[in-house]
Structure 1
């Protein structure tokens, strides 16, 4: 179940039922959560964005939060198609699109296949590359481990990577919220998404071809980054880079003040 404090709306899209938050009025911004997370990860940003005149749409992706689970495998293309179908359901032609981690790749998939639906792109603590053979094996082994060991054990194992290891002790409420969110995630949904990520495409050319406004955001201590954020910003013809201090892989929860400032500065520059 989602841990969001905002009202839940539902829509039947493609072959699944999605739950989503829909708050505010004005130009629309869509916030997509990462693997093991749900839409509640954005609860801190939603009132800030609404206060600045944005309509905020934050879905639970297929298999996560309060949305229906599709067992087996769910591909990045399916998450992208669900998001486009939700925009159709809501009558939204073009949105600012924010994708975190796994959903950064979903956002890039949407930018590649439905560029007309994206007015501005924000990729948040993600990598653009396809998996190599070893990476694909790791994803499938990880999915097997989720199904056999359960999400609480997985949450314990990955917590110090999902937020900066220093923040596990420095920010106990954030650490608890992230751990509980991951632990509550449906295991079948998480495993299906992990198998799908193993087969994702490479988005390097998507970045190079993207001519609209774009922002790359990364925590300064993101354990998964390895220079990917700077590389993406350099590939984007009109890309900006925002490095959020004192944070790891989830800067919007670890350092919301600096994260929100970077996001609002970018969104506020859009015409």
Structure 2
């Protein structure tokens, strides 16, 4: 199995990754609480279009190391940097889905744009999930607190139902199968319980608004207007206002997990953006 080790930080972290194809490199960063397997459709599409496609498991998820700590975004961005450096990648497009949008922005904050040509934020949490006085459209604290309590006291039970809302399953049965829900549950339930909680604390509590100015490469922003997990007004709408060089697309009726339910629409946008 392909692993590389990030030596930066308090302890070595082994990162599982898949590296297919040739051409311009595209790195796919998965969302919470899944693994690189969530990108199955996009890997196929990008390979067929002639790109080099690299996907990996965030620490604590999939086959990567399951450490006790290190789930803050700078630590997570250091894992991304280890991949870029050790594979000696240049002119990379980094694509972050949901929580993965945080790694995109924090990487650009901590490591700059020398090796990056483009970025993409897909159903991303950027710039802020939580409701605050100056972010009234965010997710209320009582909702976020209830998620944390459920993860601590009934993690598997919470995850069993989570992806129904992730995909707006009742409305999108024609675009996916119940087997997709079972597949995601299997992936999510086998993640580190500690990582599942601490990564959730990171995406729920990190404010990236001051870092949007660091996103200076051309950036694709795609969000669904029916996203029940990351409301569009607190995320993509604000990201589009704060990132100078962006291309913003809203997919009508698309849920959070639009990379599956609205794969054709997303893949078309992604390929058009990469070719520009």
Q: CA deviation at 1:235?
A: 2.2
- Structure 2 residues not aligned, in runs of 5+: 133-138
Q: CA deviation at 1:204?
A: 2.2
Q: How far apart, in 2, do the equivalents of 1:130 and 1:161 lie?
A: 17
- Structure 1 residues not aligned, in runs of 5+: 1-7
TM-score by length of 1: 0.86
Q: CA deviation at 1:236?
A: 1.9
Question: How is 1:41-120 mapped onto 2 (pairs within 5 angstroms)?
Answer: 41-72=38-69, 74-116=71-113, 117-120=115-118
SS at match of 1:44: helix
Match for residue 3 of structure 1?
none
Seen in structure 2, the aligned counterparts of structure 1 residues 225 and 132 have a Cα distance that, compared at 3 Å, is closer
**1:266 paired to 2:264:** no
Q: How far apart, in 1, do the equivalents of 2:218 and 2:195 lie?
A: 32
Seen in structure 2, the aligned counterparts of structure 1 residues 111 and 167 have a Cα distance that, compared at 3 Å, is farther
Match for residue 183 of structure 1?
189
Q: How far apart, in 1, do the equivalents of 2:166 and 2:66 lie?
A: 23
TM-score by length of 2: 0.85
Q: How many residues align structurally?
A: 260
Q: CA deviation at 1:192?
A: 2.4
**1:222 paired to 2:220:** no
Paired residues of 2:70 and 2:76 also in contact (CA < 8 A): no
SS at match of 1:122: strand
Match for residue 4 of structure 1?
none
Question: How is 1:232-243 mapped onto 2 (pairs within 5 angstroms)?
Answer: 232-243=239-250
Paired residues of 2:68 and 2:194 also in contact (CA < 8 A): yes
Q: How far apart, in 2, do the equivalents of 1:140 and 1:94 lie?
A: 40
Which whole-Å deviations, capped at 9, do the CAs of 1:112-168 have from their partners, x for residues lacking one? Answer: 2222232111011123027468967865664453243233x1222322321124346
Quote the RMSD (CA, aligned, Å). 2.4
Paired residues of 1:30 and 1:97 also in contact (CA < 8 A): yes
Give the counterpart of 1:124 among 106, 122, 125: 122
Which whole-Å deviations, capped at 9, do the CAs of 1:59-113 have from their partners, x for residues lacking one? Answer: 1010001111112451111110111011111111341000011111111111222
